Chains A and B, each alone.
Chain A
Amino acid sequence: MKISKYSYLLLGLAILLGVFAVATQNFGFCTDASILTMELPQKEGANAKPAFTLQTILPTVPEKLGIYSMNVPMVSIESTKTLAVSRLKVAPTKLAEISAPTIAKINAPSGISSARLVNQAAPEAKLEAPVARLDTAKLQPLDQVVDLGDAFSLATAESYVSVDKTSAAETVILNVPSLAASRKAALPSEDVLKQKANAYAAENNLLPEGYQYSGMSYLTRQEIGQGGVQGPVEQITGIAKYSRTIDGLAVEGPGSTICVLLGEGGQPLGYTKVSRNIGAKIAVSSVKAPGLLKTMAAEEKTFDLLSPEEAFQMLQERGMTTEIADVNTATVDKMYLAYYEAEPDKKQEETEPVYVFEGTATGPGGSVQYKEFMYALRMKNAKAPFEMPSPTKAKERKADEPMTAGTKDPELLR
């Protein structure tokens, strides 16, 4: 049979079309990014594209990972008052015994509100409550919750409570002056600290489902000699940390952390809780196309997940995104998949997988431990990473703007 030259042309066109179709099809991956609102702190470092060296094995990627909604309870002055009463163990009936104006009068600074006060008292003396003032620290909270704009807050001479409006993150410090002790505390062993923290967390119902103890940090103090740090590292305060996992992966970032502060003898000093509620699974992600997954329901929205090899390649192209400057080389000592929860003042309605890189970056100024986050969804990396646009609002400046030279504070001379 004779094949005409037009047939060869048609065949060639068909092959080209086929190649194009294969290259451009998404194998059923979802392309609707409207639900993917999670934002990483993706910034461009200054001279921060070091030569990365992978010094660990690439992580294994589960067949599929969920994408989950996040939500927070409504925050109000009333809910902040309720929290304060609960955490500071205020007896509500006692609050009626003293009027707000009276409290304000009693606790008004004694003529020092606008003057400069030189604090020359011995550090230990500062830990004592003011003798001449009524100790109303546990009586006044309900009258003193203030709206800071981004949070509701209560600050007394002794305690501090704040609740972030965006995330409902809580900070409760039972005794702020005790934080300033900053001297070698008689801290018990880590086991005892952990027990004390667990008991405090249980008593105050601090840990939502899924949280587990993840380790102890310390506020430490060390001398600085002419050649650098010297002498023993003194542990001042214990910080018992709790974190959670989703689908077996750690939740990284500023959120999903509950820290209980522990002072002398393991006494709880308060806590910080940044923990949005994790809601329903709204989609899934996978390195495999939905049609290739037997376990995946056909109706599940599925987003394309970067492979670890691709993620490492993109790290090298992108560089570091923190406030780092001037690094030439960097090792990747750990690389893993995780979920991400942002800082308290950031709105976050979903959480999705991210790649995390940890290691040491080195430049002319020295070596720095780093942790870098990267969206794991291909869709997020295909476009430019989220950046908050640089404002053009910065004040323009002339070279000859008149300024007053600084002078020594006379009250600080000794």
Chain B
Amino acid sequence: MKTVILAAMIVLIMVTTDAVASSFGVEYDSTGGLGINYNSANDFASKLKADGWTQKFLYGDASAWEKDFKDVSKPGGQDNYYADAVDVVFWEGHGAPDSLYVPPPDDHYVTYDDAIWGNLNLEWILAHSCSVLADDHLADWAYKACAQGAHGMCSHKTTVNACNAGSRMAELLVAGWTFKDAWFQQHIEKQYTGCTARVICTDATKNDKLWNHGGMAADPKPGDLWYVWTVTK
């Protein structure tokens, strides 16, 4: 009997630890002169780790793979181990209105059709890339990629300069800012005049903060209305 209770306690501790652990993952492309993205990714990771978060993965360049973002139900997808296995994902690299551009040798685009984020775990994806949230595919990112449980996505409408956004974003999140406000604040500080940042989320999740700095709203449900917030510097 004692053995059973002990085993049950161990299992409970393991499950509980996993359930309450706040985890994040980072991938980036620092090739082709985007060297600053290495700093951005690593600074984001180190500042969240210092705040008590668990880093589940940190991959860059040739180790950043499309399938990490691709839903497990799609051919080759393994987001159940990566993007959708953590609470927050930070990506810095190239992008287009329909995709995140993962660098060679993988050399694939992560499109809104590849992604179903949040049906497992992911709440927020921060994509420091050009134009992912341009007008063309806003509804696709909201209702195809995110609406199964993700809370929100941050990116841009226009082109954007590579910079150390990760460091500043993490600083503001740890200071208790919402994802939305932190994204816009680092944007105002670091981007050129005329550059447009965007956040898509629901009305319920618009004030989400890091777990240990205010917490998050309940998961949105499919069918919930999504909004786009926009700031042009």
List, in ascending order, chain B residues with CB within 8 A of A389's CB.
35
For residue A110, CB closer than 8 A to chain B, the reply is no
Q: Are B193 and A220 in contact (CB under 8 A)?
A: no
Q: Are A366 and B218 in contact (CB under 8 A)?
A: no
Do A252 and B184 form a contact, CB below 8 Å, given A41-B162, A43-B162, A119-B217? no
CA distance A412 to B109 in the complex (A): 30
List, in ascending order, chain B residues with CB within 8 A of A153's CB.
171, 175
CA distance A344 to B211 in the complex (A): 28
Interface residues of A in 394-408 (CB under 8 A from B): 394-397, 403-408
List, in ascending order, chain A residues with CB within 8 A of B190's CB.
254, 343-345
Interface residues of B in 118-149 (CB under 8 A from A): 120-123, 128-131, 134-139, 142-143, 149
* B62-100 vs A, Cβ < 8 Å mask (1 yes, 0 no): 110100000000000000111011110000111111110
A30 → chain B closest CB, angstroms: 27
List, in ascending order, chain B residues with CB within 8 A of A236's CB.
229
Q: Are A345 and B103 in contact (CB under 8 A)?
A: no
Residue of A nearest to B98 (CB): A365
Interface residues of A in 102-135 (CB under 8 A from B): 112-120, 123, 126
Q: Are A43 and B32 in contact (CB under 8 A)?
A: yes
For residue A17, CB closer than 8 A to chain B, the reply is no
CA distance A321 to B143 in the complex (A): 31
For residue A368, CB closer than 8 A to chain B, the reply is yes
Residue of B nearest to A363 (CB): B96
Q: Are B122 and A406 in contact (CB under 8 A)?
A: yes
Interface residues on A, range: 35 or more
CA distance A373 to B167 in the complex (A): 24
For residue A46, CB closer than 8 A to chain B, the reply is yes
Q: Are B215 and A117 in contact (CB under 8 A)?
A: yes
CA distance A160 to B174 in the complex (A): 12
List, in ascending order, chain A residues with CB within 8 A of B143's CB.
224, 226
For residue A101, CB closer than 8 A to chain B, the reply is no
Q: Are B189 and A407 in contact (CB under 8 A)?
A: no
Do A116 and B192 form a contact, CB below 8 Å, given A325-B94, A365-B98, A387-B33? no
For residue A228, CB closer than 8 A to chain B, the reply is yes
CA distance A375 to B189 in the complex (A): 22
List, in ascending order, chain B residues with CB within 8 A of A321's CB.
33
For residue A180, CB closer than 8 A to chain B, the reply is yes
List, in ascending order, chain A residues with CB within 8 A of B29's CB.
46
For residue A25, CB closer than 8 A to chain B, the reply is no
List, in ascending order, chain A residues with CB within 8 A of B168's CB.
345
Do A394 and B38 form a contact, CB below 8 Å, given A176-B181, A182-B207? yes
The 4 A-B pairs at the shortest CB distance, nearest first, are namely A406-B85, A388-B35, A366-B136, A117-B215
With A119-B209, A404-B85, A412-B123 already in contact, 18 other A-B pairs whose C-beta atoms are closer than 8 Å: A44-B32, A119-B214, A182-B180, A226-B139, A228-B135, A239-B188, A254-B161, A257-B233, A322-B161, A323-B94, A325-B96, A345-B163, A366-B97, A366-B135, A369-B157, A369-B158, A405-B120, A406-B84
Q: Which residues of A contact B (CB under 8 A)?
A: 41-46, 112-120, 123, 126, 148, 150-151, 153, 155, 157, 160, 162, 169, 171, 173, 176, 179-180, 182, 217-229, 236, 239, 241, 243, 252-254, 257, 259, 272, 274, 320-327, 343-345, 358, 361, 363-373, 387-391, 393-397, 403-410, 412-414
Q: Which residues of B contact A (CB under 8 A)?
A: 18-20, 22, 29-36, 38, 52, 56-63, 65, 80-82, 84-87, 92-99, 101, 103, 109, 120-123, 128-131, 134-139, 142-143, 149, 157-164, 167-168, 171, 175-178, 180-181, 184-185, 188-196, 200, 203, 206-209, 211-212, 214-219, 221, 225-233
Sampled A-B contacts (23; CB under 8 Å): A41-B163, A46-B29, A114-B52, A119-B217, A123-B206, A153-B175, A182-B206, A220-B229, A222-B227, A224-B138, A224-B225, A224-B228, A323-B128, A325-B129, A343-B190, A345-B164, A363-B96, A368-B96, A368-B134, A368-B158, A390-B32, A393-B38, A395-B58
